[in-house]
Each structure stands twice: as C-alpha cells, then as structure tokens.
Structure 1
Amino acid sequence: MNVITVGALAHGEGLDEDGADDVRVRPITRLHEPAPFSRVGPGPGGAIKPDVVEIGGTLIFDPVVARLRGGEDVGSAGVLTLYHSYLDRLFTAGSGTSYAAPRVAFSAAQILSRFPQASANLVRAVIVGSAEIPQAAQERLQLLGNDATRAICGHGLVDLERAAFSDDARVTLYAEDELALDHFAVYRIPIPEPFQAANGERCIRVTLAFDPPVRHTRTDYAGVGMSFRLVRGCQPDLIFDHYRKREQDDGPFPELAARYNCNLVPGPQAREKGTVQSATVTFKRGVEEYGDSYYLVVRCESGWATHIDRQEFAIVVELLQKAEVQLYERVRQRIRVQA
C-alpha cells in the first residue's frame, strides 16, 4: 500500500515488417492503449491499483501458431531490454509490466537527483501528480466508463518533465510535513488574477502521499488515514472553526456552504482508500468572486496504530492554465511577498 504500483501501456501495434504485410497476424493495441497483460486491482481496501502506467510492450495474435506472441517471440512486440546472458548478446526484447516498472523507477531516480533531500512520500506525490491518462487509452476504454478507465490506468502515464519542472503557465508547489493524529493543517494557495479570470481552461491538481503503518492481519489494513479538501471564498477562521475538534460546550460546528468546496475529481470515496491520493478541479468560467487565495485542508485521522503519535506526509499542488500567461512569475511574486 505504501509503494507505487505500475501497470503497462502498449508502445504501438507491435508488428514487424513481415507481420505488417501478413493479413493473418493481427495487432491488439495501438500506441498508449492499455497493454493486454496489464494487471488491475483493486488494491488493499479498494484503493486504486495500479497507481500509474508506463510503456511495457504489447502482444500480437498469430493464427499460424494459434496463440498470442510477445516481445520474447517477436522483437517488435516488446520493448528493448538487456539480455540476461550478456556474453551471448547484449540486448533482447520483452513484454510485461516487469518492463514498465523500471521506467517509473527511473523517473523516481531522476526526481531524487533533482531534489536529493526529498522523502519517499514526496517522490511518490510528484510522480503521481505528474501522471495523466493518455487520450488513446481514454478513447479505447470510454465504453467502460470513467471508473473502469481509472481502475485500468490509475492516475495515468508519468510525465518526467512535468514532475521535475514548472513552466510559464504551470506552477507546482509542494510541502513535506507531519501531523499529530486527529489534527489538521491548512495551507494557503495563491491564486493570481489571470487564473481567476475566464481566460481559457484552468486546473488545480492536489496530490497527497503518506506512509501509515500497515498490518496484513487486519481488515483495516492501514493504521492511519489521511484526506484533503480544497476550500475557496471564505475566511480561514471559518475553516478552522469548521474542522477543529469541538468540546461539548462549544455547540455545533459552523457549516461550510457547498459552493466553498472545490469539486475535486475523483471524489473522496474513490481517492481516500489509498495512501497516494490525487484529484483535480477544472474551471472554465471566471472565479473572481472567490478571491486570490484558496485553502487546502489536510486531515490526519487515527486508526489502530496507537504506537505512533504523528504521521509524515507530502503534498503537491499544481496550478495549470492552458492559455499563454505568465502564471509562474505571478505566483512566485506572491509567495515572495508573503514570506
């Protein structure tokens, strides 16, 4: 539950020159469609599994031998890899999630080389926060619905450049922190004026990763739970008063109007079953009425793990504006002024 699980995407049709000319040999996939051998969860407690996908080759159907053939039989159906007996030859081809997982490990290593002090939680959050389901996979799976697409592809294909860098119209903010059990933290997210205006499609993506104690002998596998909410348009005092633990004499907690909560997708029931959670809210109209600051509420809920009193976690927030605006510079100026 505390590791990154990986599924596989196809690198193409997998046909070589001979197979492409043979009408009997049939491709099963096209580029970035789910590989036919990719495993699907659910993970522990119904968590999304796999978390991400990467290229792992494909299979082709060969009626001459009446079976599916992978990269081990037909090199073009697999991905290039090292041969186990290097004295005979250096390279070979293969198909499987075993070839997709090392590509994600490579991305993790590249992120760690750029952020050498990053915790495992931050590396996981950055990797998952950079992933997006390819259009080809969405089109192939659309008849099964969004839930099935997420179950097969997880959060999507890892984008290493997106994970490691911001750019003019995309800003990534991150934090590593810890929370006492049954406590919460509130983070202020600066929202520049161009992002508020109806200037093309804009997205906020939040990714949380934590590493609770786990125990295979329990139905509730994770010993601690965590979750997040993105709130806008109200004062921090109201947010703290809404989420804080109340004594009997305090009376009922003040409600937060539904319009204050950002509609993050996937919703809480789908994302909160895992230890790496990612969700996105998309705006197509102006949101000036909600002000220049949003608030991310991160909660830590106690479970059976009574031997710890604090839980470490990492949070990554990405602001993306599809129009050509200087979003990065405006956010940096806001953060510098507030610091």
Structure 2
Amino acid sequence: MRDHIKLPFYEEEFKRKRRGGGGGLKPRQDKQGFSEVQVFNLLKIKDEFDSDKERFKQFFDPNLLFKIQLSQKVDEKGFIEFLETNRIKVISPSPEGKGYWISLAEDENLNEVKKKLKEYGERERYKQFDAIESFEPIPSGEKIGEQLKEKPLQEGEEAYLDIEIWRMEDERLKKFLEGASDKIGFKKFTKDKGGKITDELVTKNLCLLRVKINKSIFEEIIRLREISRIDRPPKPYITYQILSTPLEKFEVREPPPENATAIVILDSGILSNHPLLEKAVGDEIAVPLLYSNKIQEDKPQDDVGHGTKVAGIALFGDIKRCIEDNSFQPEIWILSAKVMFKEENPITGEIEAVYNEDELLEHQLEKVVRYFAEGYSNCKVVNISFGDKYKKMFGNKRQFALATLIDELAKEIDIVFTISTGNIAPEAHDFPDNYPDYLIEEKGEVKIIDPASSAYAITVGSITQEFGPLNRSPNELLFSPAHTNYPSPFTCVGPGYKGMIKPELVEEGGNIIYSPSDPSKMEDIGGKLIVLNPKWVEDGKLFTVGYGTSFTAPKIAHHIARLFNHFPDHSTNLIKAILIASTKIPSDRPSPLDEIEFNDTDTKLMDLLKIYGYGKPNFEAAVTSDLNRVLLLADNKIKLDGVHLYYFYLPREFVETSGEKEISVVLVYNPPVRRNRIDYMGVNMEFHLFKNSEIQEIQRGYKTIQISEELEEIVPEELKIKQIGLHPGVNARKRGIHQKGLKVYSGKPDIDTDKPLVLSVVSQSKWLKEEEYLQEYAVVVMIRHEATIEIYNRIREQIQQRVRIK
C-alpha cells in the first residue's frame, strides 16, 4: 500500500485586478415604437393588477409581480441596479441571463419605468432598455406543475397540493403570508375559504406550502402573482418487488468501530433485526406525521422493503462479492429515517412507498438531516434513492426546491449526499430496438429527476453488471442489448442544472432481460442485483434480487463512508475529489457511444458524460497509489478572484516508456448558492495545467489577467500554447462543483521533464463580494502509466528533494 502524496503548493498567493466596464448591448432600431408598445403593456399589467387588488383587498395586499423578457445577456449586478432606479426589484432572473426575469414593482403605478421608457423612445436615454424584449404578465397556466396538468382538480375534489411562493424579502413575504394590521394574509385567507395549510418551509432560497384545497379555492389563488408554482405532491418513483433466490445464511462478524462513518438512509425505514443489518444499525427514527398514524414515532420499521434493500447495499457495497467471499464485515454504521410508508396501488395492486400528503418532503428532509448531524459526529453521508418523476431537469428550468434545500444543507452542515438519477420505463422508448439511442437523444422524458440535479450531491446513474439469464427451458432465448458495463436501459441521464455534468458517477444497478418470443418476460432474474430480503423470515432466505438506480447511489455512499474511515482528517471536498479521481468510463460501450473518445470535442463528449458522468469509481485506486499510478493531493482555501499555483515534475520514464499514459485533475469546492440569481453559485472555480514552463512564467502571465465576468477561460493569452488540453474543456466542466479534466497520450507526449507541470486553480467571484471570504476546495492530480514502471518513488523523491532545496 502506497500513501498518496501531497501536491506541492507555490506559496506566493495573488489576486487578479478588477477590470471595469463590460460588453455593450446591441442597440434597438425602433426605440420609439418599442417604448410605446411597452408603456401600453405596463398599463395593461397595472389594470389587471388593480382588478385583483380590489378582489383581495380585505384579505391582503397583493404584490405586483410580472415578467421582463430579455433578448440579450446582461451584467446581472448592473442591470439589477438599473431596474432598481425604476423601482423594480428582481425576484428571479433567468438562469441563462437572457430570457424571462421575474420582477416586483415597488411602485404599483409603474410611473418611474413608464417615464424612463418614454425618454428612451424620445431622447435615446437609458440604453439598458436595449436588452429588454417586453414586459409581460405571468400567465396562470405557467404556474401549474406537470402532475396537475396531467390530472387537474375535479369538481368536488379536495386535494393536497404543493405551493411554491416567490422568495421575496422576509418582511414582504411575512406580510403576504401572515397579514398585517387589518389584513389577514394568505394563510388565513386559505383557511377561511375552507382550505388547510398543513405544512410550510421557509429558507433563504425557498418558501413552500403544503395545502389541502378544492377546485374553487385553486381557481381563486392561481391568479395570485406571488405563487410561483402549484402542483400535486411528489410521488416516489420506487416500487416493491420480491423474487426470491436460494442463498445460504452467513455469519456476520463484529460490529463496526464506534467512530466509524455513518450513512443516513432516507427511505421507507429499515428492518433493523435483519441478521445482516442488526450489528450495524446505529439509530433508526420515524418522522411522525402530524395528521396521520401511517408513520408513528415508535414504529420506524420498513413496511415496504425498499429501505432495507438500500441499507444493505450502503452497508456492504457488493453483496454478491460478500457471498462469494463468505464474509460480511460491516465497516460503517447505518442511521435510518422513515419518511415513506406502504400503500397499495388501487389499479395494479402493487405495493408502493409513498410520502405523506399533509407534509412537505422538504421539511421532513431538513428535520432528519439536522437530527442526525447534530446527534452523531460520525454522520457524514446521506443517501436518497427516490425522486419525483414529474420534475425532470431539461432545458432552461430553474433549480428544483428539494435540490436547492439539499445544496443549502450540504454547505451548512458539511455533509455528502448521494442521489440516484431516477428510472424511466424503457418500453415507452421502444426498448430494445431503440437502445441506447433514446438515452442520447435530447428528450425531457429521459432526464434526471428532482433532487438528482442538486449541485452538491454526487448523482449516480446505472450501468449493467455481469449477468446470466435464468432460462426457464433450454430452448428459450433470453436477451438484452445492454451488455456488461453498458448503460442500464432504465437509467435517467443528464446533463444537470445549467449544463452541469450529471451524473458524476455510475455504478451497477441491473439490466432488463427479455424473451423475444414473449416480451412479457422482461423480469428475468439474471438482470438483477442481489439485495437483502425484507421478507427473510417468511421466505426463509436472507437475499432476494432487484434492479434500479435506487441501488447505485447507496453503493457510492458505501465507498464514500469507507473513504472517510480511511482518511478521517480529510475534508469533504477532498474525499469526493479522491473518489472522482478513481473513476473510469468503461471501454466496452454500445454503438454509437463506443465511437466517442475522451480527447474528442466537448459537444461529442457530452453524449458520453451525460450517461456515464466521469465513470465508475474504483475504491482501491481511491484508497492507495501504486507504483505506476500516483495521486497528488491538496486541500486549501482561496480568496475571491485569487490564483493558486501548484507544481510537480514527471519522471523521464513516464514520458519515454511506450504505452498509454494518463494525466487527470479533479477539483471539488463548496460555494454558497442562491436560487434567485443568474449564477446559482456565488463563486466559480476552474483549473488549467501547463507544460514546458517555469512556475514564475505562469505567475507573471496570471498577474496580467484582469477580473472580468465575461472571461470564459481564465488563462493568460501568451500561455495558451503551453496549456495541456484536458477533456472535457474548462467551459464544460466549470458549470458544476465536481470537475474532472483528463488527458490521454497514446504516444510520446511533448513534455520537457526538466520543467514542472504547473496547475493553476482560479476563483472567480460572481454575486458573492465579501472581501474576507475564503473558498474551500480540494484538488487531486492523478498520473498513470499503462506499463508496469516505477513512477511513484520517482515523483515522491523529486518532490522531497525540491522541498528540501526550497
């Protein structure tokens, strides 16, 4: 076993200088005509608002919210300041900069903006109007979610709905919800009309309500501009199936050490007396329901089976391997939170795990995570193997509420979330004939589901494992077009919010095997994973089988927890970076994915990345370096708009010995997030790797680059020729907080081993402007040679020698 090596840091830190100004807006030709039309639009918006204000005046004072459509990208800060001079406050800009901005008029008469629009038309003043396409009302239909569109409220129906309120400033939001002086507010208004508000959650990014209302109340409140979205509550996309398989009973060894890492399983509970779980359950709770006894505080047991299966994989990782090794040694603790309960589908008769209709899942999740994080110092990982299939991340969508909450909690509590991408029904996409094309095509139906779009979460997709179909008769053909390590036919794909590389990782989640002569036989046992059997007493067997992305995320949680055990002093950023550094995209892939190479353009590469992410991790490669594979680690903090430089030397043997060579860099950081900004993250970070240059030359180059938000790649112009082209490129990878760039050499690389490779790590402030803020991050450099040659000691000796000289 060889310890990873510390990546040498060039001690002199520096900041880039800020450059003023920015790109100009394209001027409009017919300013006068635009001005007249938009003044008319604003008058119409005001008339409709006045009508609603009169309608609701005895209950609350409505807020005048409307849309501003931008046809050009703008400097967010400058444009917000311009709107504020018009007494217009931005509530939520378009994620892409241009597009629809949700805005609130602090002057309900709109006098200031109308006046300036007229001056813009007559005197060509206020050129910021060049970016605006139109002022528009917010149509009620845009607020209705997918489930409610699919199944609208019927006459006489009283239903639970989720309402998201635009996140206005605290005082204005409280006044709308609670009322003021002689006004009763929205909450009491809902109750007085015969509805109920059964739960609520307000954070710095969110305001969510769970209500129970009828159609008449719905039709009244959908008019309210304060409502951002209204939909039926989410339904978990998991079902319960049992296919027993005869496997022998195994002895479980001693419990994990007291300080071993704990994983929270947020699911349907667990059966903690299962012989393979009982020694490793640290705590189990049920989040009691306020208005129902379907989940009771003293009954945290799994009545569905799903949570028990997920917990088994989180505890042991590969259960099949444990069986083959005749050894079940728990190394981590399981903390279980029951947030779902058993219900029978009235149509299919299938048992499903469901959420409580009265309460917000977001609220339950926040309570659970805080409970375990505050009560258990070893609680480092939370696994979520469910999601809302009606909320798919596609196109120009805003970040989902649950995903945003996860990002808030991950930042605040410093904890890792592992989340599955979600499942699709392959038969709805012409499986097997259209496999894998339906995963590659840009269609919303196959995209990752909420909360898998969380920036902080490690999102996990599914690939197939080795399988052997269980033939029911010797002459029956069973088949799957998905061979070993191919994308599972049911896996949802990325990219994530604003093009983030999602999923980051893949793990084995199963396959679908079918009989060409009898397509109904798609449930063959050979395509499934071995999992713990929730009905072990009834069936007399400890194991059963199942498939789905639900079983990929807990396997990654297992890896992460074991890494925390191995490296208890490593930061969360560094643990994630080490695991991502160990990944590899399988070389055996279905056509046309097999035609894509990692050195291809980002456009082609994205077809691979949105399915496999950075690949499947290798735990052993994450834990230890080897003679021909070296990991260099750094854990640090950087000032806003700062530059850090690292350096290392490649051994001559690495460059001159024939065989495939690989250099990769992983960067992971934890920025603050805001859902109501164009830039979701308050800080962006990126990295670049340079060859054939002294470190002082790289430093001089970076000192010439001024701070500008328009820069896509922060690299000195004169040094671009010295840059090693890592793939994917910087603009693709910097969209997320988990970044990996890779360079593969099949021949001899043009690298001068007498000069160091220099890694620049650059931070770029977005909306975060706190002068004293230090952004935490971790970087991992991996150097690997296909040949069995000694590079580990060469690299370590060179670093030690130069540190001594220094």
Q: TM-score when scaled to structure 1?
A: 0.89
User: Which residues in structure 2 correspond to 1:144-293 (within 5 Å)?
Assistant: 145-197=604-656, 199-244=658-703, 255-283=717-745, 284-289=747-752, 291-293=754-756
Structure 2 residue runs of 5 or longer lacking an equivalent are: 1-454, 597-603, 708-714
Matched, 1:5 2:459: yes
Matched, 1:61 2:511: no
User: Which residues in structure 2 correspond to 1:29-178 (within 5 Å)?
Assistant: 29-62=482-515, 66-67=519-520, 69-70=522-523, 74-89=524-539, 90-137=542-589, 141-142=593-594, 145-178=604-637
Give the whole-Å Cα distance in 2 for the aligned partners of 1:19 and 1:304.
65
Answer yes or no: is the 8 Å Cα contact 1:13–1:28 preserved in 2: no
- Counterpart residue identity of residue 4, structure 1: I
Helix, strand or coil for the counterpart of 2:780?
A: strand
Helix, strand or coil for the counterpart of 2:537?
A: coil
Q: How many residues align?
A: 331
Answer yes or no: is the 8 Å Cα contact 1:231–1:295 preserved in 2: yes
How far is 1:150 from its partner? Answer: 1.6
How far is 1:142 from its partner? Answer: 2.8
Answer yes or no: is the 8 Å Cα contact 1:138–1:149 preserved in 2: no
- Counterpart residue identity of residue 303, structure 1: K
After superposition, the Cα gap between the structure-2 partners of 1:183 and 1:326, relative to the gap in structure 1 and judged at 3 Å, is: same
Give the whole-Å Cα distance in 1 for the aligned partners of 2:467 and 2:731.
36
After superposition, the Cα gap between the structure-2 partners of 1:216 and 1:63, relative to the gap in structure 1 and judged at 3 Å, is: farther
After superposition, the Cα gap between the structure-2 partners of 1:66 and 1:262, relative to the gap in structure 1 and judged at 3 Å, is: same
After superposition, the Cα gap between the structure-2 partners of 1:109 and 1:134, relative to the gap in structure 1 and judged at 3 Å, is: same
Task: For residues 226-280 of structure 1, give each alpha carbon's deviation from its aligned partner in whole angstroms, at most 9, with x where no partner exists.
Answer: 00000111222221121126689xxxx9742433100111111211111111111
Helix, strand or coil for the counterpart of 1:69?
A: coil
Answer yes or no: is the 8 Å Cα contact 1:15–1:60 preserved in 2: yes
- Counterpart residue identity of residue 215, structure 1: R
Matched, 1:328 2:792: yes
Give the whole-Å Cα distance in 2 for the aligned partners of 1:65 and 1:217.
51
Give the whole-Å Cα distance in 2 for the aligned partners of 1:218 and 1:65.
52
How far is 1:302 from its partner? Answer: 0.6
**Equivalent position of 2:173 in the other structure:** none
CA RMSD for the aligned pairs? 2.4
- Counterpart residue identity of residue 37, structure 1: F
How far is 1:87 from its partner? Answer: 3.2
After superposition, the Cα gap between the structure-2 partners of 1:203 and 1:254, relative to the gap in structure 1 and judged at 3 Å, is: closer
Answer yes or no: is the 8 Å Cα contact 2:669–2:778 preserved in 1: yes
Which of 769, 777, 788 is the aligned partner of 1:306? 769
Answer yes or no: is the 8 Å Cα contact 2:695–2:756 preserved in 1: no
- Counterpart residue identity of residue 734, structure 2: E
- Counterpart residue identity of residue 769, structure 2: T
**Equivalent position of 2:469 in the other structure:** 15
**Equivalent position of 2:47 in the other structure:** none
After superposition, the Cα gap between the structure-2 partners of 1:22 and 1:210, relative to the gap in structure 1 and judged at 3 Å, is: same
- 255-264 or 326-335, which deviates more: 255-264
Bigger Cα Rg: 2
- 167-176 or 9-18, which deviates more: 9-18
Give the whole-Å Cα distance in 2 for the aligned partners of 1:40 and 1:237.
43
Give the whole-Å Cα distance in 1 for the aligned partners of 2:521 and 2:728.
35
Helix, strand or coil for the counterpart of 2:514?
A: strand
Q: TM-score when scaled to structure 2?
A: 0.39
- 176-185 or 254-263, which deviates more: 254-263
- Counterpart residue identity of residue 82, structure 1: L
- 301-310 or 186-195, which deviates more: 301-310
- Counterpart residue identity of residue 87, structure 1: V
